[in-house]
Amino acid sequence: MSKRGVAVLGLALTCAQASAAVYTVGPGGSHATPQAAVDAAFANPGPDEVRLREGPLSASILIAGNLQGNDLSLSGGWDAAYASNAGQATTLDAGGSVAVLRASLSGGNLQLSKLRLLGGAAASQPAGLSLALSGFATALVGEVEVANGAVTGGSAGCIGLDARDDSQLYLYDSAVHDCSNGSAGPGGATAAGLKALAQGRAAIVIDSLQAHHNLAQASTQAGGAGVSLTASQQAGLVLRASRIHANTASAPGVFGAGLAVSLSGSASATLARLEIHDNLAPLAGSGTAQAGLTAADSSMLRMHSSLLRDGPQRGLTASTSSAEARVHLHNLSIVQHAERGFAVFGPTGGQTLHNSIVQDNGLPTALPAGAGDHNLGDDLGLANAVFVGAGDFRLAPGSPGIDAGTASVPLGLAFTDLIGEAREQGLAVDIGAYERPAPLFLSGFE
């Protein structure tokens, strides 16, 4: 179990290993199929654990109901004695016929870990992993790889996360790749990789995700081919320490080829320590960006300590559609895009940019007056930062970005940089996604 998940969401999961009834699946196990073991666990009061033998299984799983007082842990990678799961993840392969693992819970706690979910297929539904939570349900999911899935006839991700009411969901150390959704027929498609929806007072945290080589295709509008995040009402979203790359949104209109985030109501989202690069929109126009961010009503979006690079079109688009909505950006490095690195839309004051580098992109970027300060880059008409070298966007010794930022950014300065190093080393915070380590002796003594 990841301690980060418990710390962030406060999940008091009660699937205590010592007191749980244990069901095993595989050679020598107590049940022939994962579904049989899950059904037996549901029928047994109290917390239960399902252990899957490492190796491949041709199977799909449905978990549905209320786990209140009957918490469930399902994990793969177990050895022949079902005593240790230090081995390879268990592969569940649906054979291209159904969704691989679906969970719909109105209460209680669910844990999933060490699984490979392959070959899922569904019409207008998540094809690999589908988690739908309501009430006070919680889910802690980690070390899950979802791949080679197909969603037909609608807009859904290979991973679908849907949290409503007061539910909480935490996904960590996982990957989604080589999935597709939509079709060339009428309509739109989003998030062939991961699609998350949070409503009510729900919270979704996604930590350390790899989303790559996913394809969203549609005849009209597509977007967020790698990751699509939507939050409304009072819900909260967090996406951090993740890499989104080489995804393709194939449609005439595209909002965020790799990442799309949309907020409304008083929802909030934090995007931190992301690397976004080489996401494609081959059929879309020049205004298409690798990442598209939009906030409406009184919602608030914060993005920091992230690198956006090497896009065939635009890097980042940030827009607000009301006077109260906010998109605050700081410590970004936006480099080497064929078009503009960065563009903002909406009422004045709705978007801010601080401590960021926007340079070596194809077109200049115009920031509204008062939208930001302590930035660098020729695209903004400012001095260029000096990087370590080709493809390495850390600040080189003597760079004007070192100790040149400000701690006075909306919602506060982040604690860490893109790679998890402490922020504000030296005399002040650096500009850009990376913080250069401070010299060991600042006093001049050696």
C-beta neighbour count of 175 within 10 angstroms: 20
Quote the DSSP letter at residue 349: T
pLDDT at residue 17, rounded to an integer: 42
Show Cβ contacts of residue 84 under 8 Å, excluding neighbours closer than 6 positions. Answer: 78
Q: List for the chain the helix, strand, coil content (%; round to 5).
A: 5, 50, 45
3-state secondary structure 88-133: CCEEEECCCCCCCEEEEEEEEEEEEEEEEEECCEEECCCCCEEEEE
Q: Residue 385 has which token pair? A: 């930062």
pLDDT at residue 169, rounded to an integer: 98
Residues, the chain, total? 446
How far apart are the C-alpha atoms of 266 and 296, rounded to whole Å? 9
* Contact assessment for residue 192 and residue 151, using Cβ atoms and an 8 Å cutoff: yes
Q: Residue 188 has which token pair? A: 């739109």
Residue 51's nearest CA partner among 104, 115, 127 is 115
Please tell me whether residue 210 adopts helix, strand or coil conformation.
Answer: strand
Residue written as token pair 């509008």: 221
How far apart are the C-alpha atoms of 107 and 109, rounded to whole Å? 7
pTM score of the predicted model: 0.94
- Full pLDDT tens readout for the chain, 446 residues: 334 444 444 444 443 444 689 999 999 999 999 999 999 999 999 999 999 999 999 999 999 999 998 999 999 999 999 999 998 999 999 998 899 999 999 999 999 999 999 999 998 899 999 999 999 999 999 999 999 999 987 778 899 999 999 999 999 999 999 999 876 555 566 788 999 999 999 999 999 999 999 999 888 888 899 999 999 999 999 999 999 999 999 999 999 999 999 999 999 999 999 999 999 999 998 889 999 999 999 999 999 999 999 999 999 999 999 999 999 999 999 999 999 999 999 998 899 999 999 999 999 988 887 788 999 999 999 999 999 999 999 999 999 999 999 999 999 999 999 999 999 999 999 999 999 997 754 444 33
Please give the sequence-ordered ranges of beta strands (E in DSSP) within 348-431, or none if there are none. 351-354, 357-359, 372-373, 387-389, 392-395
Output 8-12 pairs: Cβ under 8 A, ≥24 positions apart. Answer: 8/170, 8/205, 8/207, 8/238, 9/138, 9/140, 9/168, 9/169, 9/170, 9/203, 9/205, 10/168, 11/109, 11/138, 11/140, 11/168, 11/170, 12/109
Angle among Cα 134, 46, 71 to the nearest 5 degrees reads 35
Beta-strand pair 194-198/159-163 = parallel
Residue 249's nearest CA partner among 221, 287, 230 is 221
Identify any residues that bridge with 363 across adjacent strands, giving them in sequence order: 340
Angle among Cα 9, 41, 71 to the nearest 5 degrees reads 20
Residue 38 φ/ψ, nearest 5 degrees: -65, -45
The tens digit of pLDDT for each residue in 384-434 reads 999 999 999 999 999 999 999 999 999 999 999 999 999 999 999 999 999
C-beta neighbour count of 420 within 10 angstroms: 10
Quick one: CA torsion of 12, 267, 238, 106, rounded to 10 degrees?
A: 40
pLDDT at residue 368, rounded to an integer: 81
Residue written as token pair 């909480």: 168
Report in angstroms the alpha-carbon separations of 264 from 230, 325, 358: 8, 9, 28
Q: Residue 323 has which token pair? A: 């006077």
pLDDT at residue 32, rounded to an integer: 95
Show Cβ contacts of residue 391 under 8 Å, excluding neighbours closer than 6 positions. Answer: none
The full set of domain ranges for the chain reads 3-285
The tens digit of pLDDT for each residue in 121-143 reads 998 899 999 999 999 999 999 99
